[in-house]
Amino acid sequence: MKRRLALAIPTLALSAAVPLPTLAQSAYPARPVRVIVPFAPGGTTDIIARIISDRTGAALGQPMVVENKAGGGGIVGAGELTKAAPDGHVLGIATVSTVASNPAINPRTPYNPLTDFTPIINIAATPNVIAVHPSFPARDHKTFLEVLKRSPGRYSYSSSGTGGIGHLQMELYKNLAGVFVTHIPYRGAGPALNDTVAGQVPIIFDNLPSALPFIREGRLIPIVVAAPQRLAVLPGVPTFREVGLEPVNRMAFYGLVGPKGLPKEVVEKVSAAVRHTLDDPAVRKRIDDTGSLIVANTPEQFAAQIRAEFDVYRQVVDKQKLTLD
């Protein structure tokens, strides 16, 4: 399958590798760099962060230490990052949930996603998937829709948290498809997956990388995906576009940001270190194997992407009259 990004996420070639000695010459970083993942371990955000952290830390000359700060659909961890000193020793992973969907629906978000972060680089984008427990009485989207319409309110779905991309996209799906399913929010995709795989919740809206291992094992059944085209890893599963629900057909992303006011030289150095990491064939393969697509754009392009996604979800919230209640 030809791998290309769509949905306002441009395909960008990686820059030439930056030699490790060049990256380690300046005073920054003077100590280990904390990377805040605003979700629990086991979800896609956590997976992507850990794939790049070791080699990026080596390129910078100091370890990158991943810390999970879950809660509020990503707001807790993202909010903690905004309070950090802008010296580059505390960075964070930004997702559509933390800089677009959650701020768009939650008026109590304690930060402005467009002004309180310094974009550094978007690492990767991933398809999203609706999947069900094997006990659910459907194996394809047509039957899935029929089951939900026959029994409004009977079924529930899990997501990584209230206001997250899984929540907002599933609510949009419900509105456009004319179905009612109860939302069960979790403190990250890991816990949501655990309960869905265990059969405590029958449906999940999740990023593909964290759900894919369970799909491959037959412990979850994929129903429909948000992707530019059908995926090689799920060739029999239609996209939301194919089933007539184009507005839901948006991918997630995982980028590195710092607090507001991060110096340009720090931004450039971290961006170069991540690009160096992504030039490694072994790292690229690990990211590809999750079902993610490497982006590796510039800080300016990532900033524009954040603004575009926030505008999209703000319009969705307004148009669909979505609230947290």
pLDDT in tens, 178-210: 999 999 998 888 899 999 999 999 999 998 988
CATH number for the domain spanning 40: value is 3.40.190.150
Say whether pLDDT at 148 is over 80: yes
Say whether pLDDT at 17 is over 80: no
Domain assignment present for residue 8? The answer is no
For 107, the domain range is: 20-125+252-320
Confidence class of residue 157 from pLDDT cuts 50, 70 and 90? very high
84-140, pLDDT tens digit by residue?
999 999 999 999 989 999 899 989 999 999 999 999 999 999 999 999 999 999 999
Say whether pLDDT at 18 is over 60: no
Q: Are residues 219 and 243 in the same domain?
A: yes
Q: Are residues 132 and 243 in the same domain?
A: yes
The CA distances from residue 135 to 120, 228, 294, 295, in Å, are: 43, 29, 34, 37
Say whether pLDDT at 5 is over 50: no
Q: Are residues 62 and 172 in the same domain?
A: no
Q: Return the pLDDT at 26.
A: 56
213-252, pLDDT tens digit by residue?
999 999 999 999 999 889 988 999 999 999 999 989 988 8
Higher pLDDT, 87 or 11: 87
Q: Are residues 232 and 268 in the same domain?
A: no
Average pLDDT, the chain: 89
* Last residue within a domain, chosen from 214, 248, 282: 248
Count structural domains, the chain. Answer: 2
Q: Are residues 116 and 187 in the same domain?
A: no
Domain assignment present for residue 232? The answer is yes
Domain assignment present for residue 15? The answer is no
The CA distances from residue 235 to 68, 144, 232, 239, 320, in Å, are: 33, 18, 5, 10, 31
Q: Are residues 89 and 32 in the same domain?
A: yes
Question: Which tokens is 218 given?
Answer: 């037959």
Say whether pLDDT at 24 is over 50: no
Q: Are residues 112 and 160 in the same domain?
A: no
Q: Return the pLDDT at 125.
A: 92
* Last residue within a domain, chosen from 190, 216, 248: 248
Query: What's the rounded mean pLDDT across residues 160-179?
Result: 87
Query: What's the rounded mean pLDDT across residues 293-302?
Result: 95
Query: What's the rounded mean pLDDT across residues 71-75?
Result: 85
Domain assignment present for residue 13? The answer is no
Q: Return the pLDDT at 254.
A: 94
Q: Return the pLDDT at 141.
A: 98
Residue type, 218: G
Confidence class of residue 163 from pLDDT cuts 50, 70 and 90? confident
281-292, pLDDT tens digit by residue?
999 999 988 778
The CA distances from residue 29 to 63, 280, 325, in Å, are: 9, 22, 43
Q: Are residues 138 and 180 in the same domain?
A: yes
Domain assignment present for residue 9? The answer is no
Closest CA to 270 of 284, 255, 285, 280: 255
Q: Return the pLDDT at 89.
A: 98
Q: Are residues 30 and 178 in the same domain?
A: no
Q: Return the pLDDT at 88.
A: 98
Higher pLDDT, 36 or 71: 36
Q: Which residues contact 141 (CB under 8 A, 6 or more apart)?
A: 223, 224, 238, 243
CA atoms within 13 A of residue 203's CA, in its CB half-sphere = 27
Question: Which tokens is 261 given?
Answer: 């006011």
Write 198-201 long-range contacts (CB < 8 A, 24+).
199/133, 199/135, 201/133, 201/156, 201/157, 201/158
